[in-house]
Amino acid sequence: MTGNDKASSPPTVAGRTSSAAIEVDHLVKIYKQTRAVDDISFSLPRGSITGLLGGNGAGKTTTIAMIMGLVLPTSGRVQVLGHGMPEESASVLGRMNFESPYVDMPMRLTVRQNLTVFGKLYAVKNLSERIAALADDLDLTDFIDRANGKLSAGQKTRVALAKALINRPELLLLDEPTASLDPDTADWVRAHLERYRKENNATILLASHNMLEVERLCDRVIIMKRGRIEDDDTPEAIMARYNRTTLEEVFLDVARGRANGAKEAVR
């Protein structure tokens, strides 16, 4: 390898050359005595939609927070769009975005003001046009000049999604993106996410408790339990492996400790 070759090669995790959107390598997070994330590794190709499943306390949010750089791992490494997190976060934060129930948008600011502030933080060009397009796309126009605190839960979720899309992210991290939405709006949001992925070749990692959502959206599912990866495959392959017809049944098998029995029965 020449010096030039080396200089132009994508950065690696554990020595592997990477063109993945996210690479997680032997990631561990210990809070005092609790192993919240216990030696997990996975790699997400660009343009994929992956669902992160697991019960409460499975380690999904901590994993996503480490990918975002909001939580420092105890050991292991994370690379996002070819950059190590969090040490190279400055190179990558402008190219990704997220939505999570653990954060809110400022309540007293109007939807337009919030989107303006975040648009400026992400250095979005032609910001007014971008906000108008998002308002149109996500049906925010009727309440765009209303304070965020005066919106319904569903409207707030759509605003949070608009914020997450304001910079046309290459990587979108979503924690429960359709929580508190009525079925019609939730379905509409899913369709929007699918379209966004297709149009932008974006990578989406979403944590969800909604199995139908994961089945519909995701081309890959990672199931976590007690901080470890219990299974990792396409939804169809996982359902076949557990001899189940829905991911919800698989989820219950895993959550209630019937996973090994179900897999053995298929073998």
Partner 1 sequence: MTNISLHRGISVHRIGAMILRYWYLLMSSWPRLLELLYWPALQVITWGFIQHYVAENSNFFARAGGTLIGAVILWDILFRGQLGFSISFLEEMWARNIGNLMMSPLRPIEFLLSLMVMSLIRLAIGIIPMTVLALVMFHFNVYALGLPLIAFFCNLIFTSWSVGIFVSGLVLRNGLGAESIVWTLMFAILPLACVYYPVSVLPFWLQTIAWALPPTYVFEGMRALLIERTFRIDLMLDALAINAMLLGASFWAFLALLRSAKKNGSLLSGGE
**90 counts as binding partner 1 under rule CB under 8 A:** yes
Q: Counting contacts by CB under 8 A, is residue 68 touching partner 1?
A: yes
Does residue 252 belong to the site contacting partner 1 (CB under 8 A)?
no
Binding-site string for partner 1 from residue 27 to residue 46, where x marks contact by CB under 8 A and - marks none: ----x----x----------
**Contact string (CB under 8 A) for partner 1, positions 129-168, x = contact:** ------------------x---------------x-----
- How near is the Cβ of 239 to partner 1 at its closest, in Å? 32
Residue closer to partner 1 (CB basis): 115 or 221: 115
The CB-of-248 to partner 1 minimum distance in angstroms stands at 27
Q: Which of 48, 50, 61, 155 binds partner 1 (CB under 8 A)?
A: 61
Q: Closest distance between partner 1 and the C-beta of residue 98, in Å?
A: 6
Binding string to partner 1 for residues 102 to 131, with x set by CB under 8 A, is what? xxxxxxxxx--x--xxx-xxxx--------
The residue from 70, 132, 212, 262 that contacts partner 1 (CB under 8 A) is 70
Under 8 Å CB-to-CB from 27, ≥6 apart: which residues?
A: 37, 39, 40, 41, 63, 66, 73, 75, 76, 77, 78
Give the interface with partner 1 as residue ranges (CB under 8 A).
31, 36, 61-62, 65, 68-72, 86-87, 90, 93-94, 97-98, 100, 102-110, 113, 116-118, 120-123, 147, 163
